[in-house]
Every structure is written in C-alpha cells, then in structure tokens.
Structure 1
Amino acid sequence: MRVPRTSRAVSTKLNLTPLIDVVFNLVIFFLVISHFSRGEAVNGVELPTATRGQQDESPHRLTITVQTDGVYLVAGKAVTTTEIEEMIAQANVVGADNFWVRIQGDRSAQYQLIEPIMLACARQAITNFGFDVLPETNKRGGGQP
C-alpha cells in the first residue's frame, strides 16, 4: 500500500499585534514625558515668557513660588512674608556672594504680591535675585537661542 504524501506548505506567519502594542506604548510614554519636561507650569504656577535671559546655575539659592491667590511657597510649603525674610537673612549670613533668590511668580500675579520679596532682598542687601520665566517662541515656531 502506498503511503499518502500530503504536501504541507510551511508558512511562517508574523504576528505584528504585540509589536504595534509596544510601539504605541512608547509613543504615549514619550508624549507624556515631553509634556512634563516642558515645564510650563511649576507648582501650578503659569510662568511668564521672556525674550532674553540666562539660566541660573547657582547651587545656593532660595526659590519662592508666588501664586495668584497670594500664597507663597518655599519647597512646596506655604510660608508668610516674615518667614521668607527670615530665610533670606539666614542664607545671607551663610554666604552672600553665591546666594540667589529666585521668584517663580504666576504670570497673572499682581505686583503687590512680588514687592514684599523684593523689599526683603533689599533689606538684607541681596542683589542677586531674578524671576523664573519661560523662553518666548516666535510665531513661526522657532525659539530664541
């Protein structure tokens, strides 16, 4: 008796579904990371934009966040203007030459909220202070270097 031979075609099927899932997960991951790395909102504060400026690289600084409702934050903790002045005075004793005060004021915050910080710096003879801002981009999509 003759043994029947069936010719089976060896076919290799490539399942792309897991690969597509991984690619979509990577796309979502990078979109989320790029959104957070833009730094448009710091502690819920929308920073103003500026055409010129320099990045502060000073290791010894006090960053004060000013919200529109008049709340001052230092390291995420709500403080008063007298506490801010005490912090500036203590840091000024340690090393006034390298000490910076950085103000992260919301773009819609009134000047009356920023002025007490500037006066506290003046009373402690701190001349190294500045404002955190976002770089302004051109309408054509390019940014200032």
Structure 2
Amino acid sequence: MPLKTTQDDQLQLNLTPMIDVLFLLIIFFMVATKFTELERNIEVELPEVATAGEHESPREPRTVTVYADGRIALDGESLSRVELVERLTAARRASPDVEVMLNGDANCPFQHVADTLAACHESEIHQIGIAVELATAMSQPANTRK
C-alpha cells in the first residue's frame, strides 16, 4: 500500500454566497428607508368626520379578592356570593370577553376560593386568572428547599 507523501490542498471556505446575502440585505434596508422618508414627506390633508364612534380602551380584568375570613370583594367593594354572581353576570352581558383576576389570601381555607371560582363559573366567565407570588428560597418550607 503506497503511503501518501504529498499534502492535499488546504480546504477553503467559499464566502461568495454570504457576501451576496449581505449585499441584498443592505439594498433591502436602503430601499425600505427611502420608502419611509417618502411617506413622511407626502403632504396630504386628511378628511374630517363629525363623529368616529366611541373609542373603547382595553378593559382591565375585574379583580375578585377572597380574604382569609371568607369575605369577598369585587374591585375593592365587599359583597356577598350572590351579589358577586349577579355583578359578574351583568359584566359578562355588557362585555362577553370579560376577564376576572382572583386574589386569594394564602391563609384562607381553599373552600372560600373554590366557592368564588364556582361563582365565576355560574356567571359563565371563562377567562379567570389566579394571582400568586413567587416564593423566595428563605420563605419556602424546609422539605421543598433544594
């Protein structure tokens, strides 16, 4: 078996495709910049209308708070479970995509939170969020620390 005594040519990286892509990107950005400058320089007087209808700002989610003693508050106003169902049903009728953010006290029995979730379900509200805080390493129970 003959031994190889000469060394093959060095491998070379072909940069031509990369340079082509770079030039195309530069041309694209130059043309796109020109179009935005042209749009800014167009002097057009926009038509006026008497009314444009009501502008609705994005709705904030309704906040339901469950306190440790079982009290319920909707947007800071204390009310009973029946009143909560009535208010949430009315809110859903006014806006079918109403959202509810549920803040439950960490020291309250879960039954109170479950009752509040059931009230949201009775009101046919399907977008419900539950607020929590991330636990720090010092506040985690000893058996869950890593």
Q: Identify, as 1 or 2, the structure richer in helix.
A: 2
When normalised by structure 2's length, the TM-score is 0.49
When normalised by structure 1's length, the TM-score is 0.50
Q: Identify, as 1 or 2, the structure richer in strand.
A: 1
- Higher RCO, Cα 8 Å, sep 6+: 1
